[in-house]
Structure 1
Amino acid sequence: MTDMTVGIDMIEVSRIAKSIQSQRFLQRVYSPDEIELIKSKKNAQTAAGRFCVKEAFSKALGTGVRDFELYEVSTLNDELGKPYITVSGNAKKLLDGRKTSVSITHTAEYASAVVIIY
């Protein structure tokens, strides 16, 4: 049986709404595909949800965010809108071939994500 780990994160959308005004923040935290999505959606909830995925991913790994760059964990959506995670760089090495499952939710005030690594 494979080990399964879970990470969860929650953030106030207003914190991310302020931060995404900075191009430097966007490039440090989000992948190019995520930045394109965030700019096209024009709402902070999208950015906040994806930020939560990065934090939840780090918690599920058990490493925190010190061992990889946040932009190495990218949340995209399939044709039905279901989110999925792609990884690159050190995040990919740390994942070591394991799979992920992700769920994101938000209100006007809060965003949250759960990541399962299995």
Structure 2
Amino acid sequence: MIYGIGCDLCAIPRMEKSLTGPHGGAFARRVFGPDEREALGLSEQAESLPARRIASAAANFAAKEAFLKAAGTGLAGPFALAEIQAVRLPSGAPAYRFSGRTAQWVAQRRLTSHLTLSHDGGMAMAVCLLESSDN
């Protein structure tokens, strides 16, 4: 049974400004979990990043907001953005990896998450589907 669906867009140039600005390292630590930071090559202070990594970071950010919408909480909810990680499986498919209160919340509700990502034309998007195993 579908628990919730969420969709979000993120402007890639806006993500580049956030990651490479004077507070880029703090932004990356607050928003992206350790697995994401490693996969994206986000260091403490990056002056520039490859375009592909910025687009992936924007898609990951959109994935976080899509999850919050599917969960029905929005940004005011009980979750830290870094607890909601968009990772890539060995096949290359995107998936969520949760930690902390977010992982507990998902487990308590017996939810399975599904994620799709895309980027083109300066925008990145994500769609999240939360599926409940309860009937």
TM-score under structure 1 length normalisation: 0.92
Amino acid at match of 1:70: L
Uncovered stretches (5+) of structure 2, i.e. residues with no partner: 43-48
Selected match of 2:92 from 69, 77, 81: 81
* Residue 93 of structure 1, CA deviation: 2.4
Q: Counting helix residues as a fraction of each chain, which structure ranks higher?
A: 1
Selected match of 1:60 from 52, 60, 70: 70
* Residue 3 of structure 1, CA deviation: 3.6
The answer on 1:103 being equivalent to 2:100 is: no
Structure 1 residues 25, 10: closer, same or farther in 2, change over 3 A?
same
**Residue in structure 1 matched with residue 128 of structure 2 by the alignment:** 115
CA distance in 2, matches of 1:69, 1:91: 8
Amino acid at match of 2:4: T
Tell me which structure has the larger Cα radius of gyration. 2
1:40-51 alignment runs, 5 A limit: 42=50, 43-51=53-61
Q: List structure 1 runs of 4+ shifted beyond 3 angstroms.
A: none
Answer with 94-103 or 69-78: which moved more. Answer: 94-103
Report how many residues are paired. 117
CA distance in 1, matches of 2:63, 2:26: 20
Contact 1:10-1:112 at 8 Å conserved across structures: yes
Amino acid at match of 1:82: A
Uncovered stretches (5+) of structure 1, i.e. residues with no partner: none
TM-score under structure 2 length normalisation: 0.81
Amino acid at match of 1:102: L
* Residue 39 of structure 1, CA deviation: 1.4
What root-mean-square deviation, in Å, do the aligned CA atoms of Structure 1 and Structure 2 show?
Answer: 1.5
